[in-house]
């Protein structure tokens, strides 16, 4: 898209019923709190048109969003710290074990496994233990076959068959693998989620049927308690809803923190500055970190913001007005016209970020460039307006803790023998989240535990 806009200007017609616009003023108008619908294909291509993420109608979306209550609020995110620290301590034990055995650890796996487990317990009230199985966890984010075989495009045309195809594939894979847990664990997780939601639904209806105590109230239990249409309470709809929220909670976080860690380890002065700040914010690693202290750590915040700037969804976001004409620079678009924009173009626009927009530079967030927070309005990796990612507050807490645990507890060096390059880290393919040229992020490091 950047090349097309450079050639044709701020508006480009990219389909019979779709235009793409890159104009910062109009961007704020399109992704606002106006009652615009979301293009249905966005959810259909993943087979989750019944989830909040895939809900087309604006009014239906707002009702579903309200059903989650304060589950994704800042206050609730802070209540999850103990749960997050528990899973991150377990991840750190695995890293320390690798050091004692004299082998590197792939942080791309750690950065997915721990968040996947955190969000599983947060959403469903149970554990799946991704962090215990590196190969199965990697099956979640190795995206080669999805892209090669065009699963996303297939879903656009036969969206109603995607859930059935997933079920049939899962049964076939189990048969071929000859065991209950084959290495492609996404389909296994979908099957597990359905069974878990059926049990949770029974517990919500009759609390006496609760099989085991839960550390927190599952998000999906809150969702089930709200009065919604019967179609929103079917197991199919609930599983789409739960898995969509779960996926947004681990994959985006994992991609972002992996990239941030890669850039920090390539630039030792940046890593040293972060480690120094974390020593002040978290002096005793035998005690849990203080979120108040981490919130007040400006360079940690800058590292996260810059990591987010480099990892927005690479594709386009699409809206349409179902009833009224939309206008842009004298163009009039009839009702139903798909109007698209791209978060990635905003996050890399030189008119905002300067001539070094393609350089990882956390210092831009703590210098004069960001006086009065003028850059923050353009950090749109979580989208903007009514459909901002609902879990962004939880993601922020999670990313602060991930960077804190890893950089405070370990001295890190990239494994030279692994020959890691940008092709293993930076976005090249579009799988809604960014996929590197080599299909799967990997970041093997040597991690030496620090004493204090």
CATH 1.10.630.10 fits 50-310+360-449, yes or no: yes
Does residue 370 carry a pLDDT above 90? no
- Averaged over 20-28, what is the pLDDT? 96
Mean pLDDT for the chain overall:
89
Give CA 359 to chain center in angstroms: 22
pTM beyond 0.75: the answer is yes
pLDDT the model gives residue 439: 87
Choose among 329, 311, 322: nearest CA to 425.
Answer: 311
Question: Around 297, how many Cα atoms within 13 Å sit in the side-chain half-sphere?
Answer: 27
Q: Which residue has the tokens 């803790």?
A: 401
Q: Work out the number of other CB atoms within 10 angstroms of the CB of residue 304.
A: 23
Q: Work out the number of other CB atoms within 10 angstroms of the CB of residue 350.
A: 10
As a whole number of angstroms, the distance between CA 230 and CA 60 comes to 13
Residues 254, 258, 264, 266, Cα dihedral to 10°: -170
- Averaged over 221-230, what is the pLDDT? 92
How confident is the model over 103-152, as pLDDT tens digits?
999 999 999 999 999 999 999 999 888 899 887 788 777 765 555 445 55
Q: In 134-228, where does DSSP find H-type helix?
A: 134-141, 144-148, 151-157, 162-177, 185-205, 219-225
Does residue 163 carry a pLDDT above 70? no
Choose among 222, 263, 255, 220: nearest CA to 238.
Answer: 220
Question: Where exactly are the structural domains of the chain?
Answer: 50-310+360-449
pLDDT the model gives residue 59: 94
pLDDT the model gives residue 189: 80
Report how far apart, in Å, the C-alpha atoms of 256 and of each of 364, 440, 445 are: 18, 13, 17
Q: Work out the number of other CB atoms within 10 angstroms of the CB of residue 307.
A: 24
How confident is the model over 58-70, as pLDDT tens digits?
999 999 999 999 9
Least confident of 135-139, 316-320, 418-422: 135-139
- Averaged over 7-17, what is the pLDDT? 95
Choose among 319, 43, 59: nearest CA to 160.
Answer: 43
As a whole number of angstroms, the distance between CA 62 and CA 56 comes to 11
Contact (CB, 8 A) for 278 and 311: no
Strand 18-21 and strand 338-341: pairing?
parallel
């Amino acid at each position: 898209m950047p090349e097309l806009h450079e050639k044709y200007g701020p508006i480009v017609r990219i389909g019979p019923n779709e235009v793409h616009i890159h104009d910062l003023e109009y961007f704020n108008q399109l992704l606002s709190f106006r009652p615009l619908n979301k293009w249905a294909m966005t959810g259909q291509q993943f087979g989750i048109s019944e989830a909040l993420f895939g809900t087309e109608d604006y009014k239906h979306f707002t009702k579903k969003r309200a059903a989650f209550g304060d589950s994704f609020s800042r206050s609730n995110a802070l209540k999850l710290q103990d749960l997050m620290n528990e899973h991150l301590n377990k991840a750190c034990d695995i890293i320390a074990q690798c050091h004692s055995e004299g082998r590197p650890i792939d942080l791309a796996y750690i950065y997915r496994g721990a968040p996947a487990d955190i969000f599983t317990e947060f959403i469903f009230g149970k554990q799946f233990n991704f962090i215990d199985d590196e190969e199965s966890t990697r099956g979640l984010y190795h995206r080669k076959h999805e892209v090669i075989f065009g699963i996303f495009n297939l879903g656009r045309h036969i969206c109603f068959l995607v859930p059935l195809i997933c079920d049939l594939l899962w049964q076939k894979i189990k048969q071929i693998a000859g065991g209950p847990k084959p290495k492609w664990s996404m389909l296994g997780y979908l099957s597990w989620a359905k069974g878990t939601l059926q049990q949770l639904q029974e517990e919500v209806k009759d609390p006496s049927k609760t099989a085991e105590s839960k550390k927190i109230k599952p998000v999906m239990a809150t969702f089930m308690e709200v009065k919604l249409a019967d179609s929103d309470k079917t197991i199919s709809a609930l599983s789409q809803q739960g898995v969509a929220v779960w996926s947004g909670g681990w994959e985006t976080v994992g991609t972002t923190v992996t990239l941030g860690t890669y850039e920090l380890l390539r630039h030792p002065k940046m890593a040293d500055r972060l480690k120094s700040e974390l020593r002040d914010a978290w002096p005793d690693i035998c005690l849990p970190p203080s979120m108040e202290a981490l919130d007040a750590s400006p360079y940690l915040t800058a590292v996260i913001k810059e990591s987010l700037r480099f990892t927005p969804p690479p594709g386009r976001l699409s809206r349409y007005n179902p009833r009224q004409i939309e206008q842009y620079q004298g163009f009039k678009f009839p009702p139903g016209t798909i109007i698209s924009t791209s978060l990635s173009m905003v996050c890399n626009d030189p008119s905002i970020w300067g001539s070094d927009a393609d350089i990882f530079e956390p210092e831009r967030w703590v210098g004069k460039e960001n006086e009065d927070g003028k850059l923050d309005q353009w950090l749109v990796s979580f989208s903007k307006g009514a459909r901002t990612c609902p879990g962004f507050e939880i993601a922020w807490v999670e990313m602060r803790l991930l960077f804190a645990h890893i950089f405070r507890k370990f001295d890190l060096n990239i494994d030279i023998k692994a020959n890691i390059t940008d092709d293993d880290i930076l976005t090249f393919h579009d799988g809604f989240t960014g996929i590197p040229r080599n299909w799967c992020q990997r970041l093997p490091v040597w991690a030496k535990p620090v004493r204090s």
